[in-house]
Amino acid sequence: MDVPLVEPAITAASTPSGLSSAEASRRLLNFGPNRVVEERVQPLARVMAHFWAPVPWMLEATIALQVTIGERLEALMIATLLLLNVGLGVFQENRANAALALLKQRLVLKVQVKRDGAWVEAPAADLVPGDIVQASLSVVPADLRIIAGTVLLDQSMLTGESIPAEAEPGKIAYAGALVRRGEATAEVVATGARTYFGRAAELVRIAHVESSEQQAVLGVVRNLTIVNFAIVIGMVAYAHAIGMSTTRIIPLVLTALLSAVPVALPATFTLAATLGAKALALKGVLLTRLSALHEAAMIDVLCADKTGTLTANELIVSAVLPVKEGWS
């Protein structure tokens, strides 16, 4: 079913000769590069984020309790385990991000754009609303309004429609669509996050959900804590009953609380996710976050549009059956 797309939010008047270089530079400062904004995280902040989450909090609390009761060797061992978890996570993320950066460099899109009255080749990221471009056999670099010519557009990634549609003068070609046939001159009407594709990508970027890994670990800890608190209350009541001093009760209570923290569980999750990420990488799947593997494993219902997602978006002949005598 063909899903109707909304008109771009930005329209920009232009001339047949295109924009001047000075005007294009001014608009580039105003509208920004023609790319979906990626959240830039400083390396130090990325590392520190691994220490600021419910799972590391448990290890950090355990370290504090061990130091409190004077068990410095045990605290050092748990700190080493925490650093190992963080190191594995940072290492895997850096490898995945480096691979993605290399892929992006190889996939830089070039377009023919009219600047100062002449056609020049420029990166798609430099396009601004009002630019005049050539749309040919490639990926549509921005939301375009066809001015002259006709192209056959495959917009299945946006509409789910597997059959390409003709785009004539006055029609909109959306960023990310594929030009299957033809060539046209078009005006850029929206770029970057203001395109139809960019607005959808921005919604995905700002969506935040709690990690299923954290839910699983915290669920285990919560249940153990409830049981352990009941035991601690009974121990304290018994200690008072037999006349044990407070200085002897406190270390006993801290030791009991420490037993409720599954210290090795976060390391197990991290190691399992690292091995899983390595296995997926051998099959061509890159994980930018280790927790993504656990989150995928916790999916109960997966809703996906089949066209171009679960299928190759290609109409092919799968079999040929000869007509037998007597068939109508």
Q: Can you list the alpha helix ranges (DSSP code H) found in 107-262?
A: 156-159, 196-206, 212-241, 246-258
pLDDT at 152: 92
Q: Is 305 a catalytic residue?
A: yes
DSSP 256-294: HHHTTS-THHHHHHHHHHHHHHHHHHTTT---SSTHHHH
Please say whether the beta carbons of 165 and 155 come within 8 A. yes
Query: Among 2, 116, 131, 305, which one carries the catalytic annotation?
Result: 305
Q: Which residue has the tokens 């068939």?
A: 327
pLDDT at 128: 92
Report in angstroms the alpha-carbon separations of 155 from 139, 146, 159, 181, 265: 10, 15, 6, 13, 46
Domains and CATH numbers, the chain: 21-34+127-205 (2.70.150.10), 43-104+209-297 (no CATH)
Distance of CA 185 to the CA centre of its chain: 34
Residue partners of 68: CB distance under 8 A and separation at least 6 = 254
Render each residue's pLDDT in the chain as its tens digit; 328 residues. Answer: 444 454 454 445 556 778 888 898 999 899 888 887 666 767 788 788 778 776 677 778 778 877 877 778 878 888 888 888 788 777 767 776 676 666 566 556 888 999 888 899 988 888 999 999 998 888 898 999 999 999 998 887 777 677 788 888 989 998 888 898 999 999 999 998 888 888 877 776 666 666 666 677 677 777 777 887 788 888 888 888 888 887 787 777 777 766 666 666 666 777 777 778 778 878 877 776 777 777 777 778 877 766 656 666 667 788 888 877 766 5
Q: Tokens for 142, please give them.
A: 């921005």
The pTM of the full predicted model, rounded to 2 decimals, is: 0.58
Q: Tokens for 283, please give them.
A: 């099959």
Give the C-alpha separation, 113 to 322, whole Å.
Answer: 51
pLDDT at 67: 83
Nearest residue to 285 (alpha-carbon basis) of 42, 21, 100, 67: 100
